[in-house]
Amino acid sequence: MKKKLVIVTNEKFFNSDGKFSCDNIAEKSLPDELSNNFKVEIIGRKSQIEQAHQLETKSINIYSNIFSYILRIFKERNKNNSVYLILSITPFTFLSACILIFFNKKIFTYLRSNGHEEYKKIIGSMGSIIYNIMFNYISKKSILISCRKHILMEKKGFVVQPSELDDNWIKNAFEKNVDNINLLYIGRVKVEKGIYSLDNLLVSLNSNIFLTIVGSNRDHKKLKYKKIKMYSIETDQQKLINFYDKCDVFILPSFTEGHPMVLLEALSRLRPVIIFNDIEHIVGNKKGIFVSERNPENFLKTLNLIKQNYNLIQKEMKLNILPKKKDFIHSFSKIVDNEIL
C-alpha cells in the first residue's frame, strides 16, 4: 500500500471542473511523478486565472485566503498515516509547518532556491532577517532536501539534482552559425528574475540584439526595449525545444537561482548561456555558461566572446553530462522512503 504524501505549497492552482492547472512546471511535475511511488495530495492556494500546466494529480485542495488554508492544515492533526512535504518556505508554508510540527507530524522541506536572497530582493534588508527566522526553525524540525548544498546553510540535509530532461531534449541537437545575436529568456516577468534589469541593460546598449521572452506576458508593457518578442508560457515540449533551437544565446538574468531547469534545457540544445555574477554558483563544471557583470560594457564583451568562438563552444558543450528527470525523481523518492522507515 502506498504511503500518503501531502504536499504543502504556496503555489496557486486553477480548478476547471476538477482539472487543476498551475503556473510553475515544477509544481506540476514533482507531484505527478511522485504519484508513482506515493498517494499524493496537494494543499495549495486558489487562482482565479487559468494556468498553463495541467496536473495529472487529482487530489488537490485549494484555498483563497490564509485563514481557510491554515484551517485545512489544522485538520491534518488527526491524520496519523500521512507524511508532509513543504515546498519552499513562505508565510503560508511556514505557518503550516508550525502547526504540523506542533502535532508531531513527519515533515520534509524541499528548498529550490536561496530564500535569503529572494526575500531581500523583494522586500529589502528585513526580508533576509524574516526568512532566516523561518528557515532556522524549520531546519530544526524537518528533514531538509535541497537542489544546492549552499542553500542548506550548513544545516544537515539531502541534495538532489532537479531536472525535466528526457531523451527528447538531447535528440537532434545541432550546431549553427551566428550573425546577429538572438537572445532567449524563458521564465516569468518578475523583478527577482532580473528581467527588468536586463531590459534596462539592452536599452542602454541600443545595439542590434533581439530578445525573445517565453513566459507570462501580463507585465510586458512595462518593458522598454523595442526589439522584444513576447510569447505566453509554452507547455508543448517540441514547441519549447524549437524556441531554444531558434535562439543563439540563452540568457538567465535572475538575481537568485538554485538549480534552474531552463539552464539544463538550453545546454541540452547546445545553446550557450549568459548569467550574471549574482548566480555564478550555478556554473559548476558545466561547459557553455558565461558569467557577465551587470553592466553594458561587460555584457557586450561577453556576447562578442561567444559570437567569435561559437562553434568551438558548442563542441565543448557536447561534453556536458546533464541530469535526467527520471534520476531526479528516483533520488527524491528514495530519500522520502528511507526517512519514513
Domains 4-163+326-340 and 167-317 share a fold: yes
Check if the beta carbon of residue 16 is closer than 8 Å to that of residue 4: no
pTM for the full predicted model: 0.87
User: What is the structure's pLDDT at 291?
Assistant: 96
Residue 217, pLDDT above cutoff 60: no
Indicate the burial class of 279 (C-beta count within 10 angstroms; 0-12, 13-18, 19 or more).
buried
Which residue did the predictor score with more confidence, 81 or 291?
Answer: 291
Q: Considering the chain, what is the average pLDDT of its residues?
A: 91
The grid coordinates listed for 328 are 531526479
Residue where the block lists cell 495530495: 41
Q: Is the pLDDT assigned to residue 219 strictly greater than 60?
A: no
Say what the pLDDT of residue 221 is: 64
Query: For residue 215, what pLDDT is reported?
Result: 85
pLDDT, tens only, 145-196: 998 888 898 899 999 999 999 999 999 888 888 888 999 999 888 887 889 9
Average pLDDT in the 99-114 region? 93
Query: What pLDDT shows up at residue 292?
Result: 96
> At 110, which amino acid appears?
Y
**Mean pLDDT score, 81-89:** 94
Q: What percent of the chain has pLDDT over 70?
A: 98
pLDDT, one tens digit per residue, over 233-260 is 898 999 999 999 999 999 999 988 878 8
pLDDT at res. 216: 66
Phi, psi of 298 (to 5 degrees): -70, -35
Structural domain boundaries of the chain?
Answer: 4-163+326-340, 167-317
pLDDT tops 90 at residue 276: yes
Which CATH code, of 3.40.50.300, 3.40.1190.20, 3.30.565.10, 3.40.50.2000, is assigned to 4-163+326-340?
Answer: 3.40.50.2000
3-state secondary structure the chain: CCCEEEEEEEEEEEEECCEEEECCHHHHHHHHHHCCCCEEEEEEEECCCCCCEECCCCCEEEECCHHHHHHHHHHHHHCCCEEEEEECCCHHHHHHHHHHHHCCCCEEEEECCCHHHHHHHHHCHHHHHHHHHHHHHHHHHCEEEECCHHHHCCCCEEECCCCCCCHHHHCCCCCCCCCCEEEEEECCCCHHHCHHHHHHHHHHHCCCEEEEEECCCCCHHHCCCCCEEEECCCCCHHHHHHHHHHCCEEEECCCCCCCCHHHHHHHHCCCCEEEEHHHHHHCCCCCCEEEECCCHHHHHHHHHHHHHCHHHHHHHHCCCCCCCHHHHHHHHHHHHHHHHC
pLDDT tens, position by position, 20-78? 999 888 999 999 999 999 999 999 999 998 888 999 999 999 999 999 999 999 999 98
Domain 167-317 coded CATH 3.40.50.2000: yes
